[in-house]
Structure 1
Amino acid sequence: MIAIGQKLKSEMLGETLTVKKKLGEGGQGAVFLVEGLSSGMKALKWYNPEQSTEVQKSAIRTLIHHGTPSGQSGSRFVWPLDLVVADGTDQFGYIMDLIDTSRFAELGEVWNRLKPAPSMKIMCQISYNATDSYRKLHLEGFCYRDISKGNIMFDSKTGEVLICDNDNIGVNMHSDSQVWGTMEYMAPELVTGKANPSTDTDLHSLAVLLFQLWVWHHPMHGQMEYDIRSWDLPAKRKIYGEDPVFIFDPHDKRNGLPNDPDYATARKRWACMPKPLQEKFIHVFSVGLKDPKRRVTEGEWRSVFQELEDCIVTCPHDSAENFWYEGLSSMNCWYCGREITEPPRLLLKGASGRSFIVLTPGSVLKKRHIDPFADLRTAEEPAGQLAQNPNNPSVWGLRNLTTASWQATVVNEGVKEVPPQRAIPLSVGLRITFGHCEGELLT
């Protein structure tokens, strides 16, 4: 391996890099802190001799020449910036930006209580951001090939996401790879050798990752895995590839959670998960296990996480976050068990379909809610906000934060104009035309 203080050279820029210290190591090599005169401090992944192949070098060059995927979605990838070589050896590596590990956490650190667990709202944002970035990668013709909890980091306060170890990314269905993934995340057809890595297999890996984010457990680790005494390669092939059974499959109960305290967390987290998210996992880990073309897409995941974030209700008794969803007959807090009064909701109907926003103090109507064609750069900006009447705090209204007037229809009062910066009081049967869609207040 390379030594502390050793001088290396970047291939494209021809810059001399000095090795400062070792940051960590994995199966393919080690990561070092390096410094260059113009590039400053960077992280260097230096491959072991057996991984330093021409195939890997060519793959890294392809990624560097393509550049980071575009837009905010692409910026979450900690992308290879330049190849790095050393005199007297065929080994090589690549540099990438450093990650602030005091701020960004791995899921394993959260499981072990080393970093704080994100709230339900932040979980929705983390899940949305991750699926959004993998969608961007796939749209640009790549597949990731090694999606796992070890390759994603997140900020538990803001929901920001970073996707690491991007050196195994390849052109979908075309480029060779030395890595096919981590077995517990690999699609069944990969485990059994019936297919090569692709965007379809990425969708399975993504679903496993999302399940672990929400349930803190693997979707196939149930009674069948529990009964295995030798967790060797044949056992893993059976559980992940030859006979995978979802632990919460409503029809196939062979792999349900064992009656063991070690599985209590998974059982409890699944029970408090909203039904729309449960249904996605049930689909992807039943139908999707056998038919790769029917797996849940990144766009479907994005939609469900946006909808869930819009429908969070805080328990008045203990402040725990709960989810309201259409068809819910009654709400009981997952933490204290007490009943929560069903909150008022704004039903939005437009060209992109229908969706709900729960109206609670602090609720924000965003541009994406009222305009399906909103610019992605401004889609999350506020278009309206729930506000109290300063003269009568018991009266709440929806304030117009756009530059155009709204048309509101009030029962027994007719049509009223709602100019920018003015609010329309909430009342039963209220309808508001926002331009591209219409909202109806439900209580």
Structure 2
Amino acid sequence: MSAYLGYLVHPISGERVEESQAYIPAITDDGGHVYPVPAYDLDRVRGLETTNDPGLFRYRPLLPVNDGPVVSLGEGATPTIPLTGLGEQLGMSALYVKDESRNPTWSYKDRLAAVAVTKAVQEGRDTVVVSSTGNHGAAVAAYAARAGIRCVVLTLASAPLAMTTLMQSYGAEVIAVHEPTDRWVLMRQLVDDYGWAPMSGFVTPPSGSNPFGCEGYKTMAYELHAQLGDVPDAIVAPVAYGDAIAGLQRGFSELVTLGLTTKTPRLIAAEPFGPYGKAVREGYRPSDSVAAGSSVAFSIATPMATWQGWNALTATGGTAATASDEQTMQAQQALASRDGVFLEASSTITAAVLPELLARKDIAADEKVVLIGTSTGLKDVPTTAARLPEVPVIAASLPELFNAIGAA
């Protein structure tokens, strides 16, 4: 039996919000936006119940969906891999990566898309719309295709070719604009005037994403608990609008309520420009922003924090750290060459911030630390290739081979 109560609650005031108002962000006292959070009666479930449903819907009792059909591509159950090579380099004895590149569209966004598109289908929606430059749009497009409904992606003219190719290949109608906020203006009109189901946020200051879809990220917490035997001490995640860490925080909190653990991990944001670091130090203010520009970690290159992201960090005693493009790309190379894990730059920034976190004593070398590897490095091959040496072309002879690679 599902523990979902059929309504949501305001995450700050706790006031009840009906499902019909789920996609309308509430304005907070300080002028920010928050989405409501699905409410559950955890007394209805015994422990962490699983079902025979596909993908992450094996956790259906703790997801905001009804008993009808679900939209799944077999997402979830991604491995948690020891990073022995990088761990040895940094002097860390228990470093892991949750490799979300093993999902159907090779990113953690499949967890959001599975739940959000399922909810849209159960609501009788025939069109979903998403604002995205990458993984989010590709995932929603794939799950909309699986569900047999229309998908419209509003992206930027600067979006990488690999990402727009994926979106279009999955059948989405992809439209690009020049300014990020232009996408949100269009999307708000489409949601309000045509009843299209929003798969991402569409207000400024940013608030986060589809509140039902964000619940899909809770399942990473459930899996980590099962894979590690308990929860880790800390989790380092790439953060833009905080959807994943907000979901993780709720998932770990539910594990405590269910009596399966006694602690929640510290959640730590890895970011290029530092809006979450500023919010942790000074308190969250929705109008705050930091200087930002281009970044190899383009999918998390935001100048602004969200309330939900800041809340997940502070509620768990977490923090934030930044890394440069060069540090991020060096970390990508280290993860791939030392541990055989090739992740996109927006993921490897989690490894890039580890030296700073160790130096600040925000993590200890003997703690169990998990990096969230959000997506594969194959999503942005040109950025990686630009930093690699040219492949030598030789005649088929051993002397030339050893001249190119060194001694036998």
Please state which structure has a larger fraction of its residues in helix. 2
Please state which structure has a larger fraction of its residues in strand. 1
TM-score range, shorter chain: under 0.3
Name which structure has the greater RCO, CA cutoff 8 Å, separation 6+: 2
Question: When the two structures are superposed, what TM-score results if normalisation uses the length of structure 1?
Answer: 0.23
